[in-house]
Amino acid sequence: MNMTLIRQFQVKKLESIQGGMFHFYTPQSSHETMLVEIPPQSIDDLFVHHFQTDQLLVVKGSFLLVVLQNRQYHYIHLTEQNHQVVIIPPGIPHSAINLSDDSCLLVNAVLRHGETHPKDYQPVKKPFEYDLQKARSFFTESPLLSMIG
């Protein structure tokens, strides 16, 4: 699949096969793999990548991914209990919120579509504030994936 043609974020459940007592999950193809730590009680600025697709998978803890698409925020609660990957193509502003008392660790299997742009990791002005009441509700609900548009 050509990732550069995708113009909206996707949430995909990882497939697995069982071998004895172990589950082997589908690897994510990438050009670079990063381990990212999101500190507790943090709310990040929006940022956007110009020539990079992020493929995010939580391996410890949980966080709320905020994606700005079609002039609205989508709040996606990702947890270690739910083996899902969120794919964010170039040009989609996104952010992270972690209102828990624990750090979150995630793997980002990055697909590069060109050189890193100088503004890739610089904050983007939010068109409107996050709904922090909605964000807090994700950290008091069930640990299963939640998504509200």
pLDDT digits (tens, 9 = 90+) for 110-136: 999 988 888 887 899 999 999 999 999
Determine the Cα–Cα distance for residues 47 and 49; give it in Å rounded to an integer: 7
pLDDT digits (tens, 9 = 90+) for 134-145: 999 988 865 444
Determine the Cα–Cα distance for residues 109 and 12; give it in Å rounded to an integer: 14
**Among the four given CATH numbers 2.40.50.100, 3.30.360.10, 2.60.120.10, 2.60.120.200, the one describing domain 28-148:** 2.60.120.10
Tell how strand 94-98 and strand 42-43 pair up: antiparallel
Tell me if 114 sits within 8 A of 49, measured CB to CB: no
pLDDT digits (tens, 9 = 90+) for 56-109: 999 999 999 999 998 999 999 999 998 999 999 999 999 999 999 999 999 999
